[in-house]
Amino acid sequence: MNLSRRQQSIFVIAGAVLVVLASTVTVMVNIELEKRQALEKVAYQNHTFTDASLLCEDELRSEFASDLTQHYVDMHSSRYDELENAFKVFMVASLGSGKNAADVYVTCEVSARTGNIKVFEFIDTGDSSANKSKAIRKGGEKFIEWPQ
């Protein structure tokens, strides 16, 4: 390859420009990644039982909307499950009033890592055989079969 001195100079200059551009892009990408990592460190990372409880209560309110008359978190049963790395929140909710009043047991599991609800289930606490058929899971599937 017999190149003139001018062509060699152009190739050298073009190569130098490419090296400078590649270095600049690499530095800019690295700075952006460092910024994102710094933001992640500042971001909220510790999900607590209180966070889980409030999240479950919000889900309960959105699930039952205007039917919900009162509810409480069962602090004796609710706990952190180390094996599943999840908070298990148990609640009792009162729905409706008068003859249509019903209590439901609510089970809510929240991932301690992500802070998202993993499981949200509820069951009617009524004793009548009509109420026993109301064992339900969010989505409409039965999760408890009552003895017949």
d(CA 108, CA 53) in angstroms, rounded, equals: 9
pLDDT at 34: 85
φ/ψ of 50, rounded to 5, equals -60, -45
pLDDT at 148: 47
| Residue of 29 and 129 predicted with greater confidence | 29
Lowest mean pLDDT across 4-8, 57-61, 102-106, 142-146: 142-146
- The pLDDT tens digits of the residues spanning 131-144 come to 444 444 444 444 44
pLDDT at 15 over 60: yes
d(CA 47, CA 86) in angstroms, rounded, equals: 10
